Amino acid sequence: MLKIGIVGAGGIGTVHANCYKSIPDAKVVAVADIVPERSKKLADIFGADAYDNAEDVIKKKDIDVIDVCVPTYLHSEFVIKASNAKKHVLCEKPMALTYEDGIKMIEATSKNDVKFMIAHVLRFFPEYIKAREVINAGSIGLPKMVRTYRGGPNPAIVREWYGYHDKSGGSIQDSLIHDIDFLTWTFGPVKEVYTRGNVFKRKEPFDPEYDLVMMEFENGIIAHLVSDWSGNQRTQFGAKIEIAGTKGLVEFNSFNSIPLKLNLFEENKGKAESVSIPESPLSPGIEPYTREIREFLESVEKDSQIPVPAHDALYALKVALTCIESMRVNKPLEVKL
Protein backbone atom coordinates (compact mmCIF):
# COMPACT_ATOMS: atom_id res chain seq x y z
CA MET A 1 0.00 0.00 0.00
CA LEU A 2 1.27 3.46 -0.95
CA LYS A 3 1.38 6.00 1.86
CA ILE A 4 0.40 9.54 0.87
CA GLY A 5 1.35 12.92 2.31
CA ILE A 6 -0.78 15.88 1.23
CA VAL A 7 0.80 19.33 1.22
CA GLY A 8 -1.95 21.96 1.17
CA ALA A 9 -5.37 21.38 2.73
CA GLY A 10 -7.35 24.02 0.85
CA GLY A 11 -9.94 23.44 -1.86
CA ILE A 12 -8.02 21.21 -4.27
CA GLY A 13 -6.21 19.47 -1.40
CA THR A 14 -9.58 18.46 0.00
CA VAL A 15 -10.71 17.24 -3.43
CA HIS A 16 -7.60 15.09 -3.76
CA ALA A 17 -7.91 13.78 -0.21
CA ASN A 18 -11.48 12.61 -0.81
CA CYS A 19 -10.32 10.72 -3.91
CA TYR A 20 -8.00 8.55 -1.83
CA LYS A 21 -11.05 7.17 -0.01
CA SER A 22 -11.91 5.31 -3.23
CA ILE A 23 -8.40 3.98 -3.87
CA PRO A 24 -7.87 0.86 -1.71
CA ASP A 25 -4.12 0.63 -2.35
CA ALA A 26 -3.41 4.13 -1.00
CA LYS A 27 -3.61 5.64 2.48
CA VAL A 28 -3.31 9.30 3.52
CA VAL A 29 -0.99 9.32 6.53
CA ALA A 30 -0.05 13.01 6.83
CA VAL A 31 -1.45 16.42 5.90
CA ALA A 32 0.26 19.82 6.10
CA ASP A 33 -1.13 23.33 5.81
CA ILE A 34 0.00 26.71 7.15
CA VAL A 35 -3.47 27.02 8.69
CA PRO A 36 -3.37 24.34 11.44
CA GLU A 37 -7.17 24.09 11.65
CA ARG A 38 -7.34 23.10 7.97
CA SER A 39 -4.68 20.41 8.18
CA LYS A 40 -6.17 18.94 11.36
CA LYS A 41 -9.70 18.88 9.93
CA LEU A 42 -8.56 17.00 6.84
CA ALA A 43 -6.14 14.72 8.69
CA ASP A 44 -8.79 13.67 11.20
CA ILE A 45 -10.88 12.18 8.39
CA PHE A 46 -8.13 9.64 7.71
CA GLY A 47 -6.66 9.31 11.19
CA ALA A 48 -3.55 10.94 9.71
CA ASP A 49 -0.93 13.17 11.29
CA ALA A 50 -1.48 16.93 10.94
CA TYR A 51 1.31 19.49 10.49
CA ASP A 52 1.60 23.22 9.87
CA ASN A 53 4.91 22.80 8.03
CA ALA A 54 5.15 20.95 4.70
CA GLU A 55 8.74 19.92 5.32
CA ASP A 56 7.64 17.87 8.33
CA VAL A 57 5.54 15.76 5.94
CA ILE A 58 8.16 15.58 3.21
CA LYS A 59 10.86 14.27 5.56
CA LYS A 60 8.68 11.47 7.01
CA LYS A 61 10.36 8.20 6.07
CA ASP A 62 7.16 6.16 5.80
CA ILE A 63 5.67 8.30 2.99
CA ASP A 64 5.88 7.15 -0.63
CA VAL A 65 4.06 9.94 -2.47
CA ILE A 66 3.73 13.68 -1.86
CA ASP A 67 0.57 15.26 -3.29
CA VAL A 68 1.35 18.98 -3.79
CA CYS A 69 -1.80 21.14 -3.56
CA VAL A 70 -0.34 24.52 -2.59
CA PRO A 71 -0.66 27.81 -4.56
CA THR A 72 1.10 27.91 -7.94
CA TYR A 73 4.03 30.07 -6.86
CA LEU A 74 5.01 27.38 -4.32
CA HIS A 75 4.84 24.37 -6.66
CA SER A 76 8.48 24.38 -7.68
CA GLU A 77 9.79 24.68 -4.13
CA PHE A 78 7.86 21.73 -2.74
CA VAL A 79 8.18 19.47 -5.78
CA ILE A 80 11.96 19.84 -5.66
CA LYS A 81 12.09 19.28 -1.88
CA ALA A 82 9.88 16.20 -2.17
CA SER A 83 11.95 14.72 -5.00
CA ASN A 84 15.17 15.38 -3.08
CA ALA A 85 13.61 13.36 -0.25
CA LYS A 86 13.10 10.54 -2.79
CA LYS A 87 9.30 10.85 -2.78
CA HIS A 88 7.18 10.42 -5.90
CA VAL A 89 5.27 13.63 -6.63
CA LEU A 90 1.82 14.48 -7.91
CA CYS A 91 1.42 18.25 -8.29
CA GLU A 92 -1.63 20.33 -9.12
CA LYS A 93 -1.67 22.31 -12.36
CA PRO A 94 -0.27 24.59 -13.62
CA MET A 95 3.19 23.11 -13.41
CA ALA A 96 4.86 26.26 -12.11
CA LEU A 97 4.80 30.03 -12.22
CA THR A 98 7.70 30.25 -14.69
CA TYR A 99 9.08 28.05 -17.47
CA GLU A 100 12.49 28.04 -15.76
CA ASP A 101 10.93 26.66 -12.57
CA GLY A 102 9.26 23.93 -14.62
CA ILE A 103 12.62 22.87 -16.04
CA LYS A 104 14.13 22.77 -12.54
CA MET A 105 11.27 20.52 -11.38
CA ILE A 106 11.84 18.06 -14.22
CA GLU A 107 15.60 18.06 -13.62
CA ALA A 108 15.18 17.40 -9.89
CA THR A 109 12.64 14.59 -10.27
CA SER A 110 14.68 13.00 -13.05
CA LYS A 111 17.92 13.22 -11.06
CA ASN A 112 16.26 11.60 -8.05
CA ASP A 113 14.56 8.95 -10.21
CA VAL A 114 11.06 9.56 -8.87
CA LYS A 115 7.72 9.63 -10.67
CA PHE A 116 6.42 13.14 -11.29
CA MET A 117 3.08 14.16 -12.76
CA ILE A 118 1.16 17.41 -13.14
CA ALA A 119 -2.56 16.92 -12.51
CA HIS A 120 -4.03 17.98 -15.85
CA VAL A 121 -7.39 16.47 -14.98
CA LEU A 122 -9.17 17.34 -18.24
CA ARG A 123 -7.47 14.31 -19.81
CA PHE A 124 -9.50 12.15 -17.42
CA PHE A 125 -12.97 13.62 -18.00
CA PRO A 126 -15.09 11.06 -19.90
CA GLU A 127 -16.53 13.68 -22.25
CA TYR A 128 -13.09 14.90 -23.30
CA ILE A 129 -11.75 11.36 -23.60
CA LYS A 130 -14.67 10.48 -25.87
CA ALA A 131 -14.34 13.67 -27.92
CA ARG A 132 -10.68 12.84 -28.56
CA GLU A 133 -11.62 9.29 -29.56
CA VAL A 134 -14.18 10.65 -32.03
CA ILE A 135 -11.58 12.98 -33.54
CA ASN A 136 -8.89 10.30 -33.77
CA ALA A 137 -11.38 7.92 -35.39
CA GLY A 138 -11.93 10.42 -38.18
CA SER A 139 -15.65 10.82 -37.46
CA ILE A 140 -15.58 14.60 -38.06
CA GLY A 141 -13.06 14.37 -40.88
CA LEU A 142 -10.04 16.65 -40.86
CA PRO A 143 -10.23 19.04 -37.86
CA LYS A 144 -10.14 22.69 -38.90
CA MET A 145 -11.44 24.90 -36.09
CA VAL A 146 -11.82 24.86 -32.29
CA ARG A 147 -13.74 27.10 -29.89
CA THR A 148 -13.51 26.78 -26.11
CA TYR A 149 -14.95 28.61 -23.11
CA ARG A 150 -14.01 28.18 -19.46
CA GLY A 151 -15.41 30.49 -16.83
CA GLY A 152 -17.20 31.20 -13.61
CA PRO A 153 -16.60 33.00 -10.31
CA ASN A 154 -13.38 34.89 -9.76
CA PRO A 155 -11.50 32.52 -7.38
CA ALA A 156 -9.82 35.53 -5.74
CA ILE A 157 -13.13 36.11 -3.95
CA VAL A 158 -12.36 33.02 -1.85
CA ARG A 159 -8.54 32.82 -2.07
CA GLU A 160 -7.01 36.25 -2.64
CA TRP A 161 -3.71 34.93 -4.02
CA TYR A 162 -5.47 33.97 -7.27
CA GLY A 163 -5.93 37.66 -8.01
CA TYR A 164 -2.21 38.44 -8.03
CA HIS A 165 -0.55 37.73 -11.36
CA ASP A 166 2.83 37.11 -9.72
CA LYS A 167 1.33 34.28 -7.66
CA SER A 168 -1.21 32.55 -9.90
CA GLY A 169 -0.48 33.80 -13.41
CA GLY A 170 -4.14 34.80 -13.74
CA SER A 171 -6.97 33.00 -15.49
CA ILE A 172 -4.98 31.89 -18.54
CA GLN A 173 -2.20 30.22 -16.58
CA ASP A 174 -4.44 28.83 -13.85
CA SER A 175 -7.67 27.98 -15.68
CA LEU A 176 -7.33 28.11 -19.47
CA ILE A 177 -4.27 25.88 -19.21
CA HIS A 178 -6.77 23.01 -18.89
CA ASP A 179 -7.89 23.61 -22.48
CA ILE A 180 -4.38 24.38 -23.69
CA ASP A 181 -3.14 21.02 -22.40
CA PHE A 182 -6.07 19.13 -23.91
CA LEU A 183 -5.67 20.81 -27.30
CA THR A 184 -1.89 20.34 -27.51
CA TRP A 185 -2.34 16.70 -26.39
CA THR A 186 -4.90 16.24 -29.16
CA PHE A 187 -3.56 18.41 -32.02
CA GLY A 188 0.15 18.85 -31.33
CA PRO A 189 2.42 21.90 -31.25
CA VAL A 190 1.21 25.50 -31.42
CA LYS A 191 2.67 27.84 -34.02
CA GLU A 192 1.42 31.26 -32.92
CA VAL A 193 -0.87 32.94 -30.40
CA TYR A 194 -2.51 36.35 -30.09
CA THR A 195 -4.23 37.39 -26.87
CA ARG A 196 -6.39 40.29 -25.74
CA GLY A 197 -7.57 40.74 -22.18
CA ASN A 198 -7.45 42.88 -19.08
CA VAL A 199 -4.83 41.09 -16.95
CA PHE A 200 -2.48 44.06 -16.89
CA LYS A 201 -5.27 46.63 -16.46
CA ARG A 202 -6.84 45.23 -13.29
CA LYS A 203 -6.45 47.35 -10.12
CA GLU A 204 -7.52 44.96 -7.35
CA PRO A 205 -7.16 41.15 -6.96
CA PHE A 206 -10.96 40.80 -6.91
CA ASP A 207 -11.47 42.66 -10.20
CA PRO A 208 -13.01 40.57 -13.00
CA GLU A 209 -10.68 39.08 -15.60
CA TYR A 210 -11.67 38.19 -19.16
CA ASP A 211 -9.21 36.97 -21.80
CA LEU A 212 -9.48 35.97 -25.48
CA VAL A 213 -6.83 33.81 -27.19
CA MET A 214 -6.45 33.17 -30.91
CA MET A 215 -4.23 30.16 -31.48
CA GLU A 216 -2.83 28.63 -34.67
CA PHE A 217 -1.43 25.10 -34.53
CA GLU A 218 1.43 23.94 -36.71
CA ASN A 219 -0.99 21.67 -38.58
CA GLY A 220 -3.13 24.68 -39.54
CA ILE A 221 -5.99 24.28 -37.03
CA ILE A 222 -7.29 27.60 -35.71
CA ALA A 223 -8.59 27.84 -32.13
CA HIS A 224 -10.44 30.58 -30.28
CA LEU A 225 -10.24 30.23 -26.49
CA VAL A 226 -12.07 32.25 -23.83
CA SER A 227 -11.03 32.40 -20.17
CA ASP A 228 -13.55 34.13 -17.93
CA TRP A 229 -13.10 35.13 -14.29
CA SER A 230 -15.81 37.77 -14.36
CA GLY A 231 -18.45 36.03 -12.25
CA ASN A 232 -19.38 36.39 -8.59
CA GLN A 233 -19.99 33.67 -6.00
CA ARG A 234 -23.44 32.94 -7.43
CA THR A 235 -22.13 32.46 -10.97
CA GLN A 236 -22.23 28.90 -12.25
CA PHE A 237 -18.89 27.53 -13.43
CA GLY A 238 -18.97 26.02 -16.89
CA ALA A 239 -16.89 24.84 -19.82
CA LYS A 240 -17.56 24.40 -23.53
CA ILE A 241 -15.62 23.10 -26.49
CA GLU A 242 -16.54 22.81 -30.18
CA ILE A 243 -14.27 21.09 -32.67
CA ALA A 244 -15.27 21.41 -36.32
CA GLY A 245 -13.94 19.21 -39.08
CA THR A 246 -14.60 18.63 -42.77
CA LYS A 247 -17.30 16.04 -42.00
CA GLY A 248 -18.90 17.31 -38.82
CA LEU A 249 -18.71 18.91 -35.40
CA VAL A 250 -18.20 17.46 -31.92
CA GLU A 251 -19.26 19.69 -29.04
CA PHE A 252 -19.26 19.59 -25.26
CA ASN A 253 -21.26 22.00 -23.07
CA SER A 254 -21.30 21.43 -19.33
CA PHE A 255 -24.41 23.61 -19.03
CA ASN A 256 -26.50 21.14 -21.09
CA SER A 257 -28.25 17.97 -19.89
CA ILE A 258 -26.69 16.14 -22.85
CA PRO A 259 -23.14 17.48 -22.56
CA LEU A 260 -21.47 15.81 -25.58
CA LYS A 261 -22.94 15.81 -29.08
CA LEU A 262 -21.76 14.82 -32.54
CA ASN A 263 -23.13 16.71 -35.55
CA LEU A 264 -22.39 14.97 -38.86
CA PHE A 265 -22.83 16.70 -42.20
CA GLU A 266 -24.90 14.72 -44.71
CA GLU A 267 -22.84 14.36 -47.84
CA ASN A 268 -23.81 16.79 -50.64
CA LYS A 269 -26.99 17.89 -48.82
CA GLY A 270 -25.77 20.71 -46.64
CA LYS A 271 -27.62 19.29 -43.61
CA ALA A 272 -26.44 17.97 -40.27
CA GLU A 273 -27.55 15.06 -38.13
CA SER A 274 -27.08 15.54 -34.39
CA VAL A 275 -26.63 12.61 -32.02
CA SER A 276 -25.66 12.44 -28.35
CA ILE A 277 -22.50 10.54 -27.48
CA PRO A 278 -22.48 8.21 -24.46
CA GLU A 279 -19.83 8.50 -21.76
CA SER A 280 -16.49 6.94 -22.48
CA PRO A 281 -16.52 3.24 -21.51
CA LEU A 282 -13.19 3.66 -19.72
CA SER A 283 -13.70 3.12 -16.00
CA PRO A 284 -17.39 4.09 -15.98
CA GLY A 285 -18.61 5.80 -12.84
CA ILE A 286 -15.16 6.84 -11.61
CA GLU A 287 -14.87 10.55 -10.90
CA PRO A 288 -12.16 12.23 -13.05
CA TYR A 289 -9.96 13.38 -10.15
CA THR A 290 -10.02 9.87 -8.71
CA ARG A 291 -9.19 8.35 -12.10
CA GLU A 292 -6.28 10.78 -12.48
CA ILE A 293 -4.78 9.97 -9.07
CA ARG A 294 -5.39 6.24 -9.38
CA GLU A 295 -3.62 6.05 -12.75
CA PHE A 296 -0.65 8.01 -11.40
CA LEU A 297 -0.36 5.68 -8.41
CA GLU A 298 -0.54 2.66 -10.73
CA SER A 299 2.45 4.06 -12.64
CA VAL A 300 4.32 4.32 -9.32
CA GLU A 301 3.47 0.77 -8.29
CA LYS A 302 4.26 -0.73 -11.71
CA ASP A 303 7.17 1.61 -12.50
CA SER A 304 5.48 2.43 -15.79
CA GLN A 305 4.96 5.57 -17.89
CA ILE A 306 2.95 8.23 -16.09
CA PRO A 307 -0.35 9.26 -17.79
CA VAL A 308 0.62 12.94 -18.20
CA PRO A 309 4.31 13.21 -19.14
CA ALA A 310 6.08 16.09 -17.41
CA HIS A 311 7.27 17.57 -20.70
CA ASP A 312 3.64 17.77 -21.88
CA ALA A 313 2.84 19.87 -18.81
CA LEU A 314 5.93 22.01 -19.40
CA TYR A 315 4.84 22.64 -22.99
CA ALA A 316 1.32 23.63 -21.91
CA LEU A 317 2.92 26.05 -19.47
CA LYS A 318 5.08 27.52 -22.24
CA VAL A 319 2.03 28.08 -24.45
CA ALA A 320 0.10 29.71 -21.59
CA LEU A 321 3.03 32.02 -20.77
CA THR A 322 3.33 32.99 -24.45
CA CYS A 323 -0.39 33.83 -24.49
CA ILE A 324 0.10 36.12 -21.48
CA GLU A 325 3.15 37.78 -23.05
CA SER A 326 1.21 38.33 -26.28
CA MET A 327 -1.38 40.24 -24.26
CA ARG A 328 1.31 42.31 -22.58
CA VAL A 329 3.02 43.37 -25.82
CA ASN A 330 -0.26 43.44 -27.81
CA LYS A 331 0.95 41.46 -30.81
CA PRO A 332 0.99 37.86 -32.11
CA LEU A 333 3.86 35.72 -30.83
CA GLU A 334 5.36 32.45 -31.95
CA VAL A 335 5.58 29.70 -29.34
CA LYS A 336 9.31 29.07 -29.04
CA LEU A 337 10.99 26.60 -26.70
- Per residue in 107-164, pLDDT tens? 999 999 999 999 999 999 999 999 999 999 999 999 999 999 999 999 999 999 999 9
- Sorted by sequence, the CB contacts under 8 Å of residue 302 that are 6+ apart come out as none
- Per residue in 78-98, pLDDT tens? 999 999 999 999 999 999 999
Say if residue 17 is in the same domain as residue 159: no
Say if residue 269 is in the same domain as residue 322: yes
> Which pLDDT score is estimated for 285?
55
Tell me whether residue 221 is in a domain: yes
Q: Of 83, 100, 119, which residue is a domain's last?
A: 119
**What span, in angstroms and rounded, lies between the C-alpha atoms of 299 and 16?**
17
Instruction: Average the pLDDT over 281-297 and give the result.
Output: 80
More confident residue, 309 or 274: 309
> Which pLDDT score is estimated for 168?
97
Tell me whether residue 309 is in a domain: no
- Per residue in 210-256, pLDDT tens? 999 999 999 999 999 999 999 887 888 999 999 999 999 999 998 88
Contact assessment for residue 19 and residue 287, using Cβ atoms and an 8 Å cutoff: yes
Three-state DSSP class for residue 192: strand
Say if residue 108 is in the same domain as residue 46: yes
Q: How many residues does the chain have?
A: 337
> Which pLDDT score is estimated for 196?
98
CATH label of the domain that carries residue 111: 3.40.50.720
pLDDT band, very low/low/confident/very high, at 258 (cuts 50, 70, 90): low
More confident residue, 284 or 49: 49
Strand 88-92, strand 65-68: pairing: parallel
pLDDT band, very low/low/confident/very high, at 267 (cuts 50, 70, 90): low
> Which pLDDT score is estimated for 49?
97
> Which pLDDT score is estimated for 315?
98
Tell me whether residue 311 is in a domain: no
Tell me whether residue 174 is in a domain: yes
Say if residue 102 is in the same domain as residue 234: no
Instruction: Average the pLDDT over 259-279 and give the result.
Output: 59
Instruction: Average the pLDDT over 171-199 and give the result.
Output: 98
> Which pLDDT score is estimated for 284?
45
| Range of the structural domain that residue 161 is part of | 123-283+317-334
Q: Of 93, 119, 145, which residue is a domain's last?
A: 119
Three-state DSSP class for residue 315: helix
Q: Of 72, 90, 119, which residue is a domain's last?
A: 119
Say if residue 110 is in the same domain as residue 180: no
Strand 272-276, strand 260-265: pairing: antiparallel
Tell me whether residue 55 is in a domain: yes
Tell me whether residue 95 is in a domain: yes
Say if residue 193 is in the same domain as residue 147: yes
**Is the pLDDT score of 298 beyond 60?**
yes
Contact assessment for residue 281 and residue 264, using Cβ atoms and an 8 Å cutoff: no
Question: What residues are paired with 101 via a beta bridge?
Answer: none
Instruction: Average the pLDDT over 12-38 and give the result.
Output: 96
Say if residue 57 is in the same domain as residue 147: no
Percent of the chain scored above 90 by pLDDT? 87
Tell me whether residue 195 is in a domain: yes
Instruction: Average the pLDDT over 301-326 and give the result.
Output: 98
Say if residue 227 is in the same domain as residue 251: yes
> Which pLDDT score is estimated for 27?
97
**Is the pLDDT score of 75 beyond 60?**
yes
Looking at the structure of the chain, the number of domains it has is 2
CATH label of the domain that carries residue 170: 3.30.360.10
Say if residue 96 is in the same domain as residue 141: no
Say if residue 184 is in the same domain as residue 54: no
**Is the pLDDT score of 270 beyond 60?**
no
Tell me whether residue 302 is in a domain: no
Contact assessment for residue 171 and residue 228, using Cβ atoms and an 8 Å cutoff: yes
Q: What is the mean pLDDT of the chain?
A: 93
Say if residue 77 is in the same domain as residue 187: no
Say if residue 100 is in the same domain as residue 136: no
